[in-house]
Amino acid sequence: MHSIKKYSTVALAGLLSVSLAACGGNAGPATNNGESAGSGAGEKVTIELAISKSSQDSPFIDKTLLDDFEKETNIRINLQLLPAEQTATVLQTKLAVNETPDLVQYNLASATTDLNLERNFEILDDEEWVSRLENKDVLSAYGHVYSFHISQDTGMQGVVYNKDMFEELGLEIPTTFEAFLAVCEAIKSSGVTPVFMPYKDNWAANIWPAAAFANAVEPSWFDQLNTNQVKWTDVPEFVTALEQQYEVYKKGYTNADVLADSYDMAVGKFLNKEVAMMFMGDWLIESVAEKDPNMNLGLFAIPSGSDPKIGASPLGGQLFIPKQAKHKDEAKKFLAYIATKDVAQKIVNERAYVSNLNDVVTPELPGYKQEIVDLYIAPKKTALTTDAYMLVDRNELYRALQDQFAGSKTAEQVLSTWSDKFSQLMKDKGAEGF
């Protein structure tokens, strides 16, 4: 068997220190293209951008941005909103039958496994904005820049919680599972649903395990996993983590219809103060704050094991250009437009991003991000989630997690099913040791 190429996670780990100096952007001289991406409006062209319905808060599909781009370039962007639970499958089909959109928003780490990155997407090394990047690694795989984003901020995953509710009930951040259950009981007694589980979108069921698993083993364990020296079923703490998440549901601390409720309901649930917590990333806090800046939300580590660390996910929400895109030049113009100094600075300011362009300054971080820095990043209490180490499609794992909540699989059966599928997928890829 030949050895497969591995998506680098070393650089991702280094990003966890970026936020410590987040307020000091490295401003440099703007290039000509950094000032303007306009080249004169020609005949109107419509290009297609495919994006998951669960990502409609993306800055790259903001109506004002799209309208301004169209006015300047005469290029209109039509959005293809894909079902969240079928995004990977739909994109795989489109790429296979050459019905490719001109732009795709996806996660780089997942694109290497789900969408065959090298075969299907353009290398962007020669684009002007690449020369202005502070950190190419977050946009790169296999030694090339394949994706676009103006942020280098990795998402943090844990338990999003309503800080005001915690204060009103006199609750402290739980650092053990037993303490977490006690917090849930207190919140439920107050008349509020403790935890919102939107597991119709099966990827959401993996937030707890992805962080808990990473806390249970050293990063080097995943190198052994990816060379078939160990298996998913070898770690008892993995079973415990799955049982814990399910126990939260069985004890009545969640919404009743966990397999019917979807992620796009989450913002409304928090705004209406129907729920107090959710296993999710800090991007949810940002989405809620956009609707109501007065909502006081925070994030704490998944309390699965002892001394839990907060989960750090690979940078997500990047834009890609398929090799078979019908309007590659126009798609590249859109990326260049977003990367112009003025446009990028506006987005970075509005989203409180850690800028990845050397002439765009990182703004002061919002309170919740600074708190994550103080409580977890500065004291080095972070762990890359399992997503950072995965070399194969994870949809079978997500479906198995849904089966657990449907009552058709135990925690042990979830891991056994996934372990078998993982081994087969790695063998199909020609991974060494399988």
Read off the pLDDT band of 137 (50, 70, 90): confident
**Residue 289 and residue 242 share a domain:** yes
DSSP E strands in 53-195: the ranges are 75-82, 103-106, 140-141, 144-145, 156-162, 193-195
3-state secondary structure of 141: strand
How far, in Å, CA of 379 to CA of 355, rounded? Answer: 23
How far, in Å, CA of 139 to CA of 136, rounded? Answer: 6
Read off the pLDDT band of 4 (50, 70, 90): very low
- 194 assigned to some structural domain: yes
Read off the pLDDT band of 389 (50, 70, 90): confident
**Residue 95 and residue 50 share a domain:** yes
pLDDT in tens, 275-290: 999 999 999 999 999 9
Instruction: Please write down the HEC assignment for all residues of 231-283.
Output: CHHHCHHHHHHHHHHHHHHHCCCECCCCCCCCHHHHHHHHHCCCEEEEEEEHH
**Residue 251 and residue 165 share a domain:** yes
Q: Is the pLDDT of residue 1 over 70?
A: no
- 369 assigned to some structural domain: no
pLDDT at residue number 391: 82
pLDDT in tens, 149-194: 999 877 899 999 999 999 999 999 999 999 999 999 999 999 999 9
Q: Name the DSSP class of 192.
A: S
pLDDT in tens, 90-133: 999 999 999 999 999 998 888 887 899 999 999 999 999 999 99
Q: Is the pLDDT of residue 39 over 80?
A: no
Share of the chain above pLDDT 70, in %: 90
- 16 assigned to some structural domain: no
> Over the range 16-48, which residues count as b (16 or more CB within 10 Å of their CB) and which as e?
bebbeebeebeeeebeebbeebeeeeeeebebb
pLDDT at residue number 10: 36
Kindly report the average pLDDT of the chain as a whole number: 89
**Residue 106 and residue 32 share a domain:** yes
Q: Is the pLDDT of residue 35 over 60?
A: no
Greater model confidence, 431 or 302 = 302
* Mean pLDDT confidence for 296-301: 97
**Residue 256 and residue 117 share a domain:** no
Greater model confidence, 43 or 23 = 43
**Residue 233 and residue 178 share a domain:** yes
Residue 334: which CATH number?
3.40.190.10
**Residue 326 and residue 307 share a domain:** no
142 and 109 Cβ atoms separated by less than 8 Å: no
pLDDT at residue number 41: 57
Greater model confidence, 245 or 31 = 245
Residue 382 main-chain phi, psi, to 5 deg: -130, 155
* Mean pLDDT confidence for 49-76: 96
**Residue 49 and residue 164 share a domain:** no
**Residue 222 and residue 145 share a domain:** no
pLDDT at residue number 13: 38
pLDDT at residue number 9: 37
- 40 assigned to some structural domain: yes
**Residue 284 and residue 230 share a domain:** yes
- 31 assigned to some structural domain: yes
Structural domain count of the chain: 2
Domain boundaries, position 252: 156-311+380-429
- 10 assigned to some structural domain: no
**Residue 167 and residue 211 share a domain:** yes
- 368 assigned to some structural domain: no
395 and 237 Cβ atoms separated by less than 8 Å: no
pTM of the complete model beyond 0.95: no
pLDDT at residue number 260: 97
Category of 191 on φ-ψ map: left (φ > 0), alpha (ψ -120 to 50) or beta: left
**Residue 212 and residue 142 share a domain:** no
- 4 assigned to some structural domain: no
CA dihedral 185, 190, 191, 196 (to 10 degrees): -50
pLDDT at residue number 34: 53
